[in-house]
Structure 1
Amino acid sequence: MVETVTLYRAPTTAADADAIADWLRDRVDGEVRVRDRLLGDVATETLAEDLAAARVTDPHDPETGNTMLGIVRYEERALATPEREGGVVYDGQAVQRALNARLPDAERGLDHLHLPLLDRVIGTWGAHDARWHKRVAVLGQPALVSVPGLYEAPAKPEAYYEAKSKHALMTGDAPPREVLEAEIEGDFLVEGDPRTTEALKGYVLAAVDFLETGTAFCDDERCRLYDAHRQPGVVQAQLREPAFCAAHDERYG
């Protein structure tokens, strides 16, 4: 039984941890707390080394990491000044292990879920197709929820990629992301989207549900606990009615 959930802010993003915590309090029995950045609280030189070792360096290579001095120094600067971080994908499970080892001993049990909202992009290795996949969430202790992953991990509508290919054929260059986002109609979230906080609520609740039940996400694409692989699916699951499938509505509705 999860008795305490500690949610950590990601102040460089559009995610409102306090609003998510308020929503969560209406749906779980345990205490819900909010703290500042977990990456800031546990930032050390060794954490910078662990993050450098968790970097995905090749989308088709399961081996990660570049611990050269310059990369470690970059990670140290990014921990101190998160506004400077970007453009890197990290092995989510490696980051999870690194943060788990730095949780307070008295709070490391599965009755106390730590849930940092991250300003980093995380991924997991797909053995079925031999490549890395960006993720919104990696469940466990702590459960990681990536705010930029919300925009980058689920695939955008087909029209987005068709327009991108057409532009590249005509100009020889990839179009700026902002241009495509302005031109393409459809349901998808973009960086800084005002719907970010609302869309993240289901992923946070799924992390609690995982520790409570041992079940990762829901199979019903209309449920907020569904892990959509395409942006229109995220919009359907997180931003449209119904909020939950019948089983999860009974539990959390």
Structure 2
Amino acid sequence: MVERITLYRAPTTPADADVIAEWLDRRVDATVAVRDRFLSQFGDEALPEDFAEARVLDPDAPETGNTMLGIVRYEERALERPERAGGVIYDGLAVQRALHDRVPTEECGLDHLHVPLLDRVVGTWGDHDGRWHKRVNVLGQPALVSVPGVYEAPAKPEQYYKQQQKHAMLSGDAPPREVLENEVDGEFLVADDPRTTEALCGYALQAYHYLKTGEEFCDEPDCRLSNPHRQPGVIEAQLRDPPFCDRHAELYRQE
């Protein structure tokens, strides 16, 4: 039984761990607390190399890891100055193992769930199609929630990418979110979206739900426990009412 949940802040992102914790606290039968960034609290000299070993090198190859000195130095800088990192995908299961090894021994039982909000993009290898897939979360202990993953993992409308490339070619920079939302049909989340915190509440609850019940995701597309593969599905599941399907509404208190 999960008795405690600890969320960890991702200070260089728009995700507000305190708001997510308050949202969870109103719905679950567990004590919810917030701590500062996991990678800062429990990082050590070996962590940069662990991240280097977890790097995805090729989107179509399962092998990971580049521990050349320059890469490890990059990971050291990324831990110290996370706002300057980006553009890398990491094996989410490898990162999960690395962080699990750093959870204090007295806190690593399944009664105390740890949920680090990460400023990294994580993925899992798909044996069914032979490529890496970006993920919003990686369930387990600890449960990883990737803040950039909520923008990058679920696919946006094709027209979004075409317009983004068009603007980049003309201006040399990515267009503001408002421009793309006006020019592309459909709704989606983009980097630093003000709806980030609200959207991630459901992904944090999925971590608790998995440890509590063993169920990974809900099959109902309008439930916060679902795992949509496209951005319109994320909007429907995480930002529209009602928040839960009938079955899960019985488990989690409503406001």
Question: 2:99 maps to what in 1?
Answer: 99
Residues 179-218 of structure 1 aligned to structure 2 (within 5 Å): 181-182=180-181, 183-218=183-218
Paired with 1:60 and 1:13, the residues of 2 have a C-alpha distance of: 29
Q: Which of 175, 178, 191 in structure 2 is aligned with 1:178?
A: 175
- Secondary structure of the 1:134 match is strand
SS at match of 1:34: strand
The answer for the alignment partner of 2:25 in structure 1 is 25
Please show how residues 82-97 of structure 1 align to structure 2 within 5 Å.
82-97=82-97
Between the aligned partners of 1:155 and 1:178, the Cα distance in structure 2 is 18
Are the aligned partners of 1:54 and 1:95 in contact in 2 as well (CA < 8 Å)?
Answer: yes
Is the 8 Å Cα contact of residues 164 and 174 (structure 1) preserved in structure 2? no
Q: Give 1:105-184 correspondences, 5 Å limit.
A: 105-163=105-163, 167=166, 176-178=173-175, 181-182=180-181, 183-184=183-184
Q: Which residue is equivalent to 2:6? A: 6
Do the aligned partners of residues 79 and 164 (structure 1) sit closer, same or farther apart at CA in structure 2, a change above 3 Å counting?
closer
Distance, in Å, in 2 between the alignment partners of 1:152 and 1:140 is 21
CA distance in 1, matches of 2:44, 2:113: 22
The amino acid of 1:178's aligned partner reads P
Q: CA deviation at 1:164?
A: 5.6
Number of aligned positions between the proteins = 250
TM-score where L is the length of structure 1: 0.94
TM-score of the two chains, using structure 2 as the length reference: 0.93
Shift of 1:172: 7.8
Q: In the TM superposition, what is the alpha-carbon distance from 1:79 to its structure 2 partner? A: 0.7
Cα distance between partner residues in 1 of 2:157 and 2:173: 17
- Secondary structure of the structure 1 residue equivalent to 2:123: strand
| Paired letter, 1:181 | L
Distance, in Å, in 2 between the alignment partners of 1:175 and 1:248 is 46
User: What is the distance in 1 between the residues matched to 2:86 and 2:54?
Assistant: 14
Q: For residues 174 and 91 of structure 1, what CA distance do their matches in structure 2 show?
A: 33
Q: Are the aligned partners of 1:181 and 1:190 in contact in 2 as well (CA < 8 Å)?
A: no
Q: 1:210 to 1:97 in 2, by over 3 A?
A: same
- Give 1:8's aligned amino acid: Y
Task: Kindly provide the amino acid, as one letter, of the partner of residue 33 in structure 1.
Answer: A
The answer as to whether partners of 2:56 and 2:90 remain within 8 angstroms in 1 is yes
**What do residues 10-52 of structure 1 show as CA deviations (whole Å, max 9, x unaligned)?**
0000000000000100111111010000011122221110000
| Cα 1:174/1:126, change in 2 over 3 Å | farther
Gap runs ≥5 in structure 1: none
Amino acid at match of 1:12: T
Give 3-state SS (helix, strand or coil) of 1:132's partner.
strand
Which residue number in structure 2 is paired with residue 65 of structure 1? Answer: 65
